[in-house]
Amino acid sequence: MKNVELTKIKFRLIILILIILKSTTLTTGQDIKPDLIINEFLASNGETIFDESGESSDWIEIFNNSNSYIDLGGMYISDKLDNPLKYQIPHKQPAETTIPPKGFLLLWADDKPEKGPLHLNFSLAKSGEAIIITASDETTIIDKVLFSKQSRDISFGRSNIDSNEWSFFIDPTPKKANNTFGIFSIRIATLYDFYKENLLLLNVIIGLVILLIISLLLFILKLSDRNRELKKAKLKYNELFNNILKGFSSDFNKDKAIDKVLKEKAFEQNILLENIKIHVWYLVDEKTYGAVNKAHAEFLGRRKDEINNANLYSIFDQETAERCIEYNEKVFTEKQELTKEEWIKNGKGEYRLLLITKTPKLDKNGKVEYVVCSAYDITERKEIEQEIKYMNSHDELTGVYNRAYYEQMLVQLDSQNYLPLSIVVGDVNGLKLTNDVFGHKEGDRLLKEIAVVLENSTRKDDIVTRLGGDEFCILLPQTDAKTVDKVIERIKENCTAAALDPIPLNIAVGSATKVRPEDEIEEVFKEAEDKMYIDKGRNKDNFQNPLLTSMVDRLFNEDYESIYHVSRVRELAVKLGAKLNLDKHSLYKLALLSEFHDIGKLTVPLEILNKEEEDLSAREIELIQNHTEAGYNIAKNFKCLNSISELILYHHENWDGSGYPNGISKEEIPLNSKIINAINFYDRLINSDSFTKEDAIIELKKKAGIKLDPEVVEVLIDLLN
C-alpha cells in the first residue's frame, strides 16, 4: 500500500512537469441534468473498495440529483448500446434499491446477480465500452456514458455533480461526491499506465527533466552578464553534467546511495509485512512456497524458515495440500487473479475460514514468474453473517421461519415448477387462555411445542413458518390435497401424543391446494384460512371443547378436586337452590357452578394444595386464593362457562367482607356464590374426621352472619334436618 501511495506522489510530480499538456474530457452531451445520473465508475477495481462478500469488483456510482427518494427497482442498466435492457434491477426490494435525495448508490458490475439486487449481470470492459440506464418503460434513456480504455484503480467520473465533463480520478470516491483533487486528463492517465510499467526508465527521465529545467533557469538568470559569469556558468554546467551522469549511474549501475535507499525501503516493507495480521506469501510454482510473513507462519504453527521454499505436502495434510495445489494450478494456468473462501486447519488444530486472494505476476513475455497470495481470517465475520441471516429469516421464539421468509418463499414457489402447491394455515387453540391463566411463560412454551409438532409432522422440503401471534403456516411444494390431509392427520396425532401440561396441544388447521397456474395464490391462502376457522369453531361453544375436557379430566385425575366432592356439592346445591325458590335458569347456573367453581386450582401446584392450612406460608396462601381469579379467566375463555365466570370469582367472598378476592359483603355477593360458599364449608367439615353432622350444623350457626349468609345457613340447616 505504501508503494502505491509513493507511486501516486511521483505521478503527481509528473503532472506538474507535464502541465503544459492539454487535458481532454468526456461529455455526455446532455445539457439538462436528469434526476438520476451516472456519476463515477471503476472498470478495473483492484483495491479501492470491496463488496459485502469481500470481493473487489467493478462498480458504478448512481447519484440522485432530486429532492425525493428514487427507487431504481424496475429500471434497466446495460453495458451495450444495442441491448439497453440487459439487466433489470429487482423491483421488490426497495430497502436496498432506493436512493435518498442528493444521495449515492453503488452497483457492482461483477456478473453475479445471484449475490443480490445491487449485483449486475455484466462486468465492465477495461478496454472501454458504454453504460446506459433506461427507465422502466423500456424506452426512456435516463443517462448514458461512453468511455475508452481505463486504468487499474483509477476511476472515471464527472468533474463535479453539475458538470457534463468527465475526468480520471487517482483517488476514487465511491458513495461520495467526486474529489476534484487528483483529477487528470485521459492523456495523463495513459502516461500513468506507462509509468507503472516502466518505473525505472521514467525515474531516470524525471531526474533528467528536473536537471534540464534547473540548467535552463540558471542559464536565463546568468544570460544578462554573459562575460562576467562565463566561468561560473561553465562550472555549473560541469556540475549539472556530473549530476546527469550520476542520475544515469544511480538507475543503471545501482551505486551506493541508491543501494542505501533500497535497503531502507526494504527494511520499511519488512516492518509492515511482519506486523500486520494479514497473511502474505508467494508461490514459486503450484506446489512450492517462496517466502511467507510472520502472520502466515504463526497461523500454521511453524517457523518462517520451515515454510520458506517448502513443498506444500510437507506443510499440510494430503487432502488440504491437494486442494491448495488444484487452486494454485488454476491461477498459474489461467493467469488471472482468483479469490475464494477456504477452511484451513491452523497450528492449534482448529479449522478457520480464510478469504484467500492469489495474484499472478507476469514477466514481459506473459509467463507467470510467481504468485502473490494474501489471506484474511473471516471466521468470526462469517459466523456473524450467518447469525444475522438466521435471525432475519427465523422466528426468535420458536425457531421456525418467520413471516418475512414466508412471503419471500411464497413468491418463489408460486410458479408452475412447484405445482401442486399446498398451503396449511394453523391457529393454536388455548394460547390466550394459557397467557391469561398460567402466564406468558407457559404461553411461549405452548408455541414452542406446537412448532416442534409441526416440524416433526412435515417433510424436509416443507416450509413451516410462524406468521405471528398464534398463527402458523406451512408451504408444501409439489404436494396434492390427499398428501396434505395425511400431514394434517399427523399434526393432530402428534399434538395428542405430546400430552403437554397444563394446557394440551391443540391447533385448528385448514388447507388448500393450488393446482392450476392461473389460480391466485392469495385465494388459495384464504381458502385454507377459512377452513381453519371452521375447524376452530367446532366444539368451541359446548362442553365437548377439547381444551375444557382436558382441564376437567386433569382436575379429577390429579385429585385437585374429588369427583365425589363435586357430586355431593352439586346435589346439595340444587336442593338448596330449589328451597330458596330459584328459577330454572339460576338452578342451571348453580349446578354448573358446583362443577366448575374450583377449576382455577389448576394453576396451584399440587404439593401446596395438599398441605395443611397451618403449614402454608403467606406466599402459598396467596397462590391458593388466586384460584378464584384464575377460574374466572378460564371461564371467560369458554362460551359455555361465561355465565358463571363472576360466580366463580366471588364464591370465596364472606358475608362480613373478610373474603377474597375483592372483599365485597352481604348483598353485593351473588346468591349462587353464597350458596356454594356455605355448602363448601359444610362439606369440608362433614368429610373430616373431627366433625359429625351435628357438629357441622353447630359450626354453620356460628359462621352465620360472619362468614356465611344467615338466610342461606338457615335454609341449609332446615334442609339438612
Looking at the fold, whether 332 and 416 belong to one and the same domain comes out as no
CATH number at residue 167: 2.60.40.1260
CATH number at residue 459: 3.30.70.270
- Between residues 270 and 379, the one the model is more confident about: 379
pLDDT digits (tens, 9 = 90+) for 184-219: 544 455 555 555 556 666 677 777 888 888 877 876
Q: What is the mean pLDDT of the chain?
A: 84
Looking at the fold, whether 421 and 343 belong to one and the same domain comes out as no
Query: Does residue 706 lie within any of the structural domains?
Result: yes
Q: Which residue has the cell 551506493?
A: 256
pLDDT digits (tens, 9 = 90+) for 49-70: 888 888 888 999 999 999 999 9
Torsion-angle region of residue 453: left (phi > 0), alpha (psi -120 to 50) or beta?
alpha
Looking at the fold, whether 188 and 204 belong to one and the same domain comes out as no
Distance separating alpha carbons of residues 501 and 313, to the nearest angstrom: 60
Looking at the fold, whether 39 and 99 belong to one and the same domain comes out as yes
Band of residue 264 on the pLDDT scale cut at 50, 70, 90: low
- The whole-number pLDDT of residue 191 equals 54
Report the amino acid identity of residue 54.
Answer: G
Band of residue 32 on the pLDDT scale cut at 50, 70, 90: very low
Looking at the fold, whether 183 and 214 belong to one and the same domain comes out as no
- The whole-number pLDDT of residue 24 equals 36
Looking at the fold, whether 66 and 190 belong to one and the same domain comes out as yes
Peptide bond into 502 cis (omega under 30): yes
End of a domain among 358, 382, 406?
382
Looking at the fold, whether 167 and 294 belong to one and the same domain comes out as no
Distance separating alpha carbons of residues 237 and 231, to the nearest angstrom: 10
Query: Does residue 670 lie within any of the structural domains?
Result: yes
End of a domain among 158, 174, 197?
197
Burial 502-517 (b: 16+ CB within 10 A, else e): bbbbbbbbbbbbbeee
Percent with pLDDT over 90 in the chain? 54
How many domains are contained in the chain? 5
> By mean pLDDT, which of 369-383, 600-614, 669-683 is the weakest?
600-614
Query: Does residue 447 lie within any of the structural domains?
Result: yes
CATH number at residue 626: 1.10.3210.10
Q: What domain range includes position 18?
A: 2-197
Band of residue 333 on the pLDDT scale cut at 50, 70, 90: very high
Q: Taking 90 as the threshold, does the pLDDT of residue 122 lie above it?
A: yes
Distance separating alpha carbons of residues 579 and 715, to the nearest angstrom: 7
Looking at the fold, whether 167 and 284 belong to one and the same domain comes out as no
Looking at the fold, whether 192 and 214 belong to one and the same domain comes out as no
Neighbours of 371 (CB within 10 A): 22
Query: Does residue 104 lie within any of the structural domains?
Result: yes
β-sheet bridge partners, residue 361: 370
End of a domain among 537, 563, 579?
537
pTM higher than 0.85: no
Q: Helix (H, G, I), strand (E, B), or coil: what is residue 591?
A: helix
Query: Does residue 390 lie within any of the structural domains?
Result: no
Band of residue 710 on the pLDDT scale cut at 50, 70, 90: very high
Longest dimension (CA), the chain: 155
Neighbours of 698 (CB within 10 A): 13
Q: Taking 60 as the threshold, does the pLDDT of residue 163 lie above it?
A: yes
Query: Does residue 65 lie within any of the structural domains?
Result: yes
pLDDT digits (tens, 9 = 90+) for 555-612: 777 655 567 888 889 999 999 999 999 999 999 999 999 989 988 888 888 888 888 8
Looking at the fold, whether 19 and 168 belong to one and the same domain comes out as yes
- The whole-number pLDDT of residue 256 equals 56
**pLDDT, average across residues 69-89:** 93
Residue pair 155/170 in contact (Cβ under 8 Å)? The answer is no
> By mean pLDDT, which of 163-172, 347-356, 380-389, 543-552 is the weakest?
543-552
Looking at the fold, whether 155 and 88 belong to one and the same domain comes out as yes
CATH number at residue 370: 3.30.450.20
Residue pair 595/573 in contact (Cβ under 8 Å)? The answer is no
Query: Does residue 469 lie within any of the structural domains?
Result: yes
- The whole-number pLDDT of residue 72 equals 94
pLDDT digits (tens, 9 = 90+) for 461-512: 999 999 999 999 999 999 999 999 999 999 999 998 887 776 788 899 999 9
Query: Does residue 389 lie within any of the structural domains?
Result: no
Neighbours of 150 (CB within 10 A): 24
Neighbours of 48 (CB within 10 A): 18
Looking at the fold, whether 363 and 407 belong to one and the same domain comes out as no
